[in-house]
């Protein structure tokens, strides 16, 4: 395996407004682009800390762990995370990338990426819910990845989010635009660091002349460590 084909190992996901609609895959985390691989499949593990940067993001802290498999044509990951800051609930997700186009130097890739994420919060006296809250999100977009150096990658990913939020028997589905960008660097021994920045553009939804969900621009950032096996 060539580490240059898998220099950053984080893949994906997102931003959730806990009291408002979600916009993320791993809820509360940026939507990372799943990295492309080389002719030999690569396996990596990663962990990260994420933080909402504004009121629309919920300003929650979150911790996540990822397992990533990258190859030349198809890459995927599975992940789980915990949202803190008084929320204290778990989120799960998975994402698949189909690498469509590579340049002649093999250091730039365009990929079609899609995934699914899930979050649930049980109703109790503390959170004031009238029913259990569940959020399911389906982000899909194009990831543009370049490799400026042997062990470094830069990527950006515009996307559409389809998000269904349920509270008890009531549900609402919304479609919004999001954008994420990130950077990653790895050492020859397989260890590396990555970071990402994500925002979503939430449109106000009105039903029966009542504002069901408000507009907003959640912004979230993340930083973490990863390890690529077999380097």
Q: What integer pLDDT is reported at residue 4 of this predicted model?
A: 37
Contact 48, 197 (CB under 8 A): no
Q: What integer pLDDT is reported at residue 3 of this predicted model?
A: 42
Q: What integer pLDDT is reported at residue 13 of this predicted model?
A: 27
Tally of CB atoms within 10 A around 156 = 17
Tally of CB atoms within 10 A around 152 = 16
Encode pLDDT of 119-154 as tens digits: 887 766 555 555 677 888 899 999 999 988 877 899
Measure the N-to-C terminal CA separation of the chain; round to a whole number of Å: 7
CATH for the stretch 3-228: 2.40.160.20
List the domain boundaries for the chain.
Answer: 3-228
Contact 30, 197 (CB under 8 A): yes
Ranges of residues in the chain with a pLDDT under 50 are: 1-24
Q: What integer pLDDT is reported at residue 23 of this predicted model?
A: 44
Question: Cα Rg for the chain, rounded, in angstroms?
Answer: 18
Integer Cα distance of 128 and 138 in angstroms: 27
Q: What integer pLDDT is reported at residue 164 of this predicted model?
A: 83
Whole-model pTM?
0.82
- Cα 196 to Cα 49, 101, 182, 207: the distances in Å are 11, 23, 4, 35
């Amino acid at each position: 395996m060539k580490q240059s084909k898998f220099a950053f190992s984080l893949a994906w996901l997102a931003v959730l407004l806990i009291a408002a609609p979600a916009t993320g895959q791993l809820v509360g985390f940026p939507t990372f682009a799943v990295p492309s691989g080389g002719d030999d499949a690569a396996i990596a593990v990663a962990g990260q800390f994420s933080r909402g940067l504004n009121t629309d993001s919920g300003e929650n802290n979150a911790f996540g762990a990822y397992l990533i498999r990258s190859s030349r044509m198809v890459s995927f990951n599975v992940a789980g995370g915990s949202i803190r800051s008084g929320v204290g609930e778990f989120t799960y997700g998975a994402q698949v990338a189909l690498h469509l186009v590579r340049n002649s130097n093999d250091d730039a890739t365009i990929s079609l990426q899609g995934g699914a994420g899930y979050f649930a919060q049980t109703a109790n006296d503390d959170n004031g819910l009238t029913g259990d809250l569940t959020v399911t999100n389906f982000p899909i977009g194009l990831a543009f990845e370049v490799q400026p150096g042997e062990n470094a990658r830069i990527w950006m990913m515009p996307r559409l989010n389809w998000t269904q939020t349920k509270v008890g028997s009531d549900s609402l589905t919304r479609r919004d635009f999001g954008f994420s960008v990130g950077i990653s660097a790895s050492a020859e021994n397989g260890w590396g660091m990555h970071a990402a920045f994500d925002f979503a553009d939430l449109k106000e939804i009105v039903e029966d002349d009542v504002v069901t969900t408000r507009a907003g621009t959640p912004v979230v950032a993340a930083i973490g460590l990863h390890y690529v096996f077999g380097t």
